Structure 1
């Protein structure tokens, strides 16, 4: 069975009937955080919303006024996940998010076209593809592709777009002689009934369940951004089609304009200017590290030369790293002195180091890490790690003083 969205990919709404509505849950990811939504799985008599398949993501839209969060195919049915109960037998108007749909149509038909041209020009077969949120890629069965080859593919696909080649959707049965001649990566295990053929006239015929443009002119333009090494000796060809090319150009110009203002030179000089800045930063970082090392040595010497130095040396510095702290500890010597050092934000996170007699450090190291809400490890009189509550370092100092005085409470 072909859904209405497959019969007419340009349709934006459909009046249909609710067949069933059953409680369900949907696992989603929002901003990297996984969550489970409670709602309902709805099956309609027919649908204008495409369920994911063929490498194409599913549509979004409305059933009446109820948002559809996911559409999946289960056998011959399209299952719509919604958050509100719908009455079986009721008539509903289903609307598609057209901007999302048309974007997917452009990328999917663009993939078919690039796949066909890459095969005809160089014999590179497509083994998989991914329709990404911003850019898409086609996995080609070749270990390498030259820049000249990618440019030739781009030139020919855009020529086909300018020629306004029709894209025809045909339906055949699995016993049709043509079934074994058209390009395909295989049918789903649960497929039943006729097979859809997406025929780019004179260019390619391919089995596919997705939604496609009716004419290559609707692709507007295809831009191949480049290639990268893929899995198992294959090459990923990265591309944009249609509106995505326009958006990419707008973003690129905005970045170029900002860089021009920041670097105070023309776009053709941006790379040279950034390279100079990178070299300057590396030099400054090197000089800064040298100064920090010198400061660490001077800090340690100042403490050692103090006539009334205590048994505990404690220091916090916003700028610094593990090397800075270890230099101080090494210079002071920790046979009879406890060194407590921290670097980073004085109220939130940073690094810490405890050094001193092993019998004391082994005892207080884990306790200090707990006070600082951090983690650490150590041996031979050194314990260091990361801290998330640097504001608690005063409590660590009190703990160290208590250990020396024999008044520190035992850990529970």
Structure 2
């Protein structure tokens, strides 16, 4: 079966009849709740009903829509032309790149992916030099400027000519004639996709370079036609914004950003040193008090795990000294302090640390994490993790105060 889109990829509308319609369920791409609707067998806008997805099942094109259509009814199919033409450009561009890459370097295409923003051709080679990429790009664009015709033929399934065209094989459920796409003098390939009628319709191809692919293969990334124009437009908008922000010309952007990165690294280093000093001072201030509280609570928006652990370490030093005194004179030893430290947003995401007596921390740590809507882990008198509900710090403090006051938190 050859579909209307394959016989005439340029047709934007055509009239047809609904063959059948049945209830179906579609799970959106990327997951999520299924959309309930009906599944007739045509493409585009069917009347005024949007088509959400089209799949091929043997000789039938199955269309998913969200409104039932009457079998036998005459309907007008209207095409999303911008999307169709984009696919035509990328697909014909892939055929051209694949053919020229094999002719120039012997690199065979093993698969390809038409992405939403860029397309990728998997080449059966472990590497491709920048010079080869440049030469390939120059060659394919020469063919575009030569206005080479692209033709579609339909051959009978038993036609011996089928053996002479490039192919990755037919689907098991294929029925009807075999469709062959010819780029005159360049390539002949068995294909069921939509294509341009002349390479000049591609406008231009830009090869964005290669990425590591599967074992001993590379992925060649490319843009064709209108995607190149959109990429240039986006790059130009970015360039204008950077010129305004950096107060210099495009040729100086990279060096300006490098200078900014160096300044940021230095500021970050200085900030970390200041945070460490502040942590030490906070701990020493606590230890200098004649009577130390059994519960120490602190929140600081600017901070990290190291900041909290420095405070815990400094106060912990005093605890260890107290344990030594205990062996000589129990009356001189204060009770070990329970510390609840948090950093980050005051109401939403942040980090927390619970430190103090081992048994108390083991019992209270999971409850603290639960109250803060986070997760954590701990050992040797420390329990720390990430939180999503920092607004509940007051509830945690109440829980810990109950513990230090009565020896056990309220149930």
Q: So what's the TM-score if we normalise by structure 1?
A: 0.93
Equivalent of residue 247 in structure 2, options 246, 264, 284:
264
Aligned to 1:358: 358
Deviation at residue 175 of structure 1 after TM alignment: 2.2
Matching of residues 357-396 of structure 1 within 5 Å: 357-396=357-396
CA–CA separation in structure 2 for the residues paired with 1:237 and 1:305 = 65
Aligned to 2:289: 306
Matching of residues 13-412 of structure 1 within 5 Å: 13-29=13-29, 34-43=32-41, 47=42, 49=43, 61-333=44-316, 334=319, 336-406=336-406, 408-411=408-411
Structure having the higher Rg:
2
Deviates more, 1:114-123 or 1:330-339: 330-339
Aligned to 1:4: 4
Number of residue pairs aligned between Structure 1 and Structure 2: 394
Q: Is the 8 A contact 2:2 2:176 kept in 1?
A: no
For structure 2, the 5+ residue unaligned runs are 321-335
Deviation at residue 375 of structure 1 after TM alignment: 1.3
CA–CA separation in structure 1 for the residues paired with 2:407 and 2:379 = 25
CA deviations over 1:362-403 (Å, ceiling 9, x no partner): 121111112212111111111111111112112212211211
Deviation at residue 148 of structure 1 after TM alignment: 0.9
CA deviations over 1:224-259 (Å, ceiling 9, x no partner): 111111111111111111111111111110001111
Q: So what's the TM-score if we normalise by structure 2?
A: 0.94
CA–CA separation in structure 2 for the residues paired with 1:85 and 1:395 = 54
Deviation at residue 189 of structure 1 after TM alignment: 1.0
Local SS of the residue matching 1:169: strand
Deviation at residue 35 of structure 1 after TM alignment: 2.3
CA deviations over 1:142-183 (Å, ceiling 9, x no partner): 111111111111111111111111001011123222211111
**4+ residue stretches of structure 1 with deviation over 4 A?**
407-410
For structure 1, the 5+ residue unaligned runs are 50-60
